[in-house]
Structure 1
Amino acid sequence: MEGLRRTFGISEPIRRGMELKIARDGEWRPAVLGGRGASGSGVHEDILRGRECEIGWEDVFVGDEMRSVPEFHEEVERKVRMQ
């Protein structure tokens, strides 16, 4: 971020920070479709960080493979507070 500030000014690190916060807050994926990984990052956050071409161990094995997955519709209803 310091290099960005020196090159582009103070607005670039602020803009990137705001975009990362928006990507973190707005990303939601049902557990049936994999949910969020152990790293906590989604596709949009990986793109903003420049890691979209990398794959790590924690991207594949998140440690909760044996857990029971809730039904898709139940999870969506709980997300949008339909219950």
Structure 2
Amino acid sequence: MRDGQLNIESQLNGRHPLQARLENWEETQMNMRMQNYKRTFGMGEPIRRTMEMQIVKETTLMPAVVGTPANIHLDILKNKDLDVDWEDVYTGDDQPLDFHSELEKRMGI
């Protein structure tokens, strides 16, 4: 980079090679975690965790009293329950919904 020379791949794709790694960071970390579970506990553990994550992703939950619903179940399965991300603090919603407003919205009342 200091010499002003870039590799052919970055010239063809029009983006930096590090960008692809950063975009796939979460997936790479999850694959590494599943491989460690497989080595430690056997094949059943990654299969069970993958099934649980799929079930939790498909489940719709009512939102919390303030703000948008955070899927805490998925965060626990991904070991991200203690992390505070940008989306957790700044939800982007101007008006928070409570339980009753969400229920009325879903039932069409």
Aligned-residue CA RMSD (Å): 2.7
Cα distance in structure 1, aligned partners of 2:89 and 2:56: 21
One-letter amino acid of the structure 1 residue matched with residue 81 of structure 2: E
Counterpart of 2:45 (choices 12, 15, 38) is 12
Cα distance in structure 2, aligned partners of 1:61 and 1:19: 28
Does 1:65 pair with 2:93? yes
CA deviation map 1:37-79 (0-9, x unaligned): 5xxxx111111111211212211112x323x566854532453
Cα distance in structure 2, aligned partners of 1:11 and 1:21: 15
What percent of counterpart residues are identical? Answer: 38
One-letter amino acid of the structure 2 residue matched with residue 4 of structure 1: Y
**Higher alpha-carbon deviation: 68-77 or 8-17:** 68-77
Match of 1:45 in 2: 74
Number of aligned residue pairs: 76
CA deviation map 1:11-35 (0-9, x unaligned): 1111001111122222412386322
Q: TM-score, normalising length from structure 1?
A: 0.64
Q: TM-score, normalising length from structure 2?
A: 0.52
Higher RCO, Cα 8 Å, sep 6+? 1
Identify, as 1 or 2, the structure richer in helix: 2
